[in-house]
Amino acid sequence: MRHLLGLGHRRIAMVAGPDHVVCCRARLAGYEAARALLTRPRPPAAARGGPRRSPAGDDA
């Protein structure tokens, strides 16, 4: 996230995957921890969960 911020990006989102998958929850937790460490609160729609298929990522 520091790298993206250093490039001037300010709206950094992520697609986490479904909540019942452990690695997807861990990915979201890491995203939230990085945002907190950099004192950048997450906008409500910046992280989304969903099925692990391309169309779901496209929709996000």
Model confidence pLDDT, tens digit, residues 2-38: 888 889 888 787 887 888 889 988 988 888 888 888 8
Spatial distance between the Cα atoms of 57 and 5, rounded to a whole number of angstroms = 22
Q: What is the DSSP letter of 34?
A: H
* pLDDT for 1: 80
* pLDDT for 57: 57
Q: What is the residue whose two structure tokens read 């929850």?
A: 25
- The maximal CA–CA distance of the chain, rounded, in angstroms, is 33
* pLDDT for 22: 92
* pLDDT for 7: 92
Element holding 22 (H helix, E strand): helix 22-37
pLDDT interval class at 56 (50, 70, 90): low
pLDDT at 58 over 80: no
